[in-house]
């Protein structure tokens, strides 16, 4: 049995720490494409750390099949999972994520709103300009900075 098969098997282990470590070990392999579908399955894990690590691992795939499952993670109870999903969607550059990312500008967590702004800048879509302009009035400075950077990325001159 190859290492990758063993690691994929460990994604079903009863201990969350073992599942997290298996994901981390998978990411160290040169090619872990075989783990794509099992990693998608980990996005529904009961443990926040497992879901978070799965999002991080999926960020290493330039695979657009991850977009819809990652969009679902934008409503995760864990702000870390939401933030990592937003960042990964921004890196994938997929326009299907535009409206869901705009919605994340209203998240309760400032760090999530910040990451949504940054990711919207990476999508390079003018539809994000108005919501980003509204973020310039956010109560949190980090969100304002993220929005300003994203607007700059979009070429907005104001």
Q: Kindly list the structural domains of the chain, giving each domain's residue range(s) and its CATH number in brackets, ordered by start.
A: 1-61 (1.25.10.10), 64-158 (1.25.10.10)
Q: Confidence band (pLDDT; 50, 70, 90) for 148?
A: very high
pLDDT of residue 2: 63
How far the first Cα of the chain sits from its last, in Å, is 59
Share of the chain above pLDDT 70, in %: 99
pLDDT of residue 1: 45
Q: Mean pLDDT over all residues of the chain? A: 95
What is the mean pLDDT of the segment spanning 119-136?
Answer: 97
Q: What is the pTM of this model?
A: 0.93
**Numbers of helices and strands, H then E, in the chain:** 10, 0
Spatial contact of 78 and 45, defined as CB atoms under 8 Å apart: no
87 contacts: CB under 8 Å, gap ≥ 6: 59, 115, 118, 119
């Amino acid at each position: 049995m190859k290492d990758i098969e063993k690691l994929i098997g460990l994604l079903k282990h009863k201990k969350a720490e073992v599942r997290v470590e298996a994901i981390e070990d998978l990411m160290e392999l040169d090619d872990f494409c075989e783990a794509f579908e099992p990693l998608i399955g980990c996005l529904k894990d009961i443990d926040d750390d497992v879901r978070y690590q799965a999002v991080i691992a999926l960020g290493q795939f330039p695979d657009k099949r991850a977009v819809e499952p990652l969009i679902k993670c934008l409503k995760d109870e864990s702000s870390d999972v939401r933030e990592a999903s937003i960042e990964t969607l921004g890196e994938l550059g997929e326009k299907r994520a535009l409206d869901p990312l705009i919605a994340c500008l209203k998240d309760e967590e400032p760090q999530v709103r910040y990451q949504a702004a940054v990711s919207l800048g990476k999508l390079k879509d003018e539809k994000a300009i108005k919501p980003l302009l509204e973020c310039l009035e956010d109560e949190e400075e980090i969100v304002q900075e993220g929005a300003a950077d994203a607007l700059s990325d979009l070429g907005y001159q104001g």
